[in-house]
Amino acid sequence: MLDNKKIKIMTKLAAFEQGEGKEDIKISKYYKTDYIRYQVIKTAVSITFGYLLVLILFGMYHAEYLISKIVTLNFLRIGQYLLGFYIIIMAAYITGAFIGYSVKYDHSKKNLSRYYKLLKKLNRHYQENSADEKGEA
């Protein structure tokens, strides 16, 4: 005989596991500090790669000017500006990543608490049914 209550709970669990909960379950495998640290490192590597790519493209676009003025350019001053700009960009993105991924982790834990409540409810339902079956036997 079909148990509608059990089917509803299992449907909710399956929908969570296949939908938004897929990412939440992956996140739950990390401690909060490890997850945030991992995401911040990924952000820092991505920002560094993107910054270098933009510099290369900018240099290629202005290659004629750079070649013609190579003797008179103050490379120390240019390097200081580029490094300062890089540090500002990196600080902004790392701060944003830290805050954003911290909020995402907390939100994920809240979603998972609802998921675990449903699992406990399903477990209780199974225990009640097994106790009923033992009583009938």
Chain segment 86-102, per-residue pLDDT in tens: 999 999 999 999 999 99
User: Which is nearest to 24 in space by CA: 115, 100, 120?
Assistant: 115
Within-domain flag for 134? no
Q: What is the reported pLDDT for 18?
A: 79
Identify whether 74 is part of a domain. Answer: yes
For residue 3, being part of any structural domain is answered with no
Query: Is residue 8 included in any domain, yes or no?
Result: no
| Beta-carbon count within 10 A of 126 CB | 12
Is 62 a member of any domain? yes
Give the domain extent around 80.
33-122
Q: What is the per-residue pLDDT across 19-52, written as a single tens digit (0 to 9) for each? A: 777 787 788 888 999 999 999 999 999 999 999 9
Residue 70 lies in a domain: yes
How many domains are there within the chain?
Answer: 1
Say if 129 falls within a structural domain: no
Whether 107 is in a domain gets the answer yes
* Phi then psi dihedrals of residue 73, to 5 deg: -75, 140
